[in-house]
Amino acid sequence: MRTEDVRTYEAEAMADTGAVRTVVPIQVLESLGDAARRKRVAEYADGRQEVVGVSEPLIFELMGRDTREEALVLS
């Protein structure tokens, strides 16, 4: 893959140390030219449940370290 073919999105974000999954807004996923590939039930801290999209694996880089994982997609 050529470097110019890699799509990136730079943002300020908040890390929730109690969260068990990564969440991205639908606008971020769309700006990367991606779409949710399947659905999953997400449960919020207050007990609410909602069916949300799940992304393809994304690479997240923070302070020189990176990880690759799927993200829940919220509108």
pLDDT at 4: 79
Contact between residue 39 and residue 54 where contact means Cβ atoms under 8 Å apart = yes
pLDDT: which is higher, 6 or 24 = 24
Contact between residue 34 and residue 56 where contact means Cβ atoms under 8 Å apart = yes
pLDDT at 1 over 80: no
Contact between residue 58 and residue 72 where contact means Cβ atoms under 8 Å apart = no
pLDDT tens string 63-72: 899 999 999 9
Ordered by start, the domain boundaries in the chain are: 20-59+67-75
pLDDT tens string 10-49: 999 888 888 889 999 999 999 998 889 999 999 988 999 9
Q: What is the DSSP letter of 57?
A: P
pLDDT tens string 51-64: 999 999 999 998 89
pLDDT at 19: 87
Residue in the block written with tokens 């590939």: 37
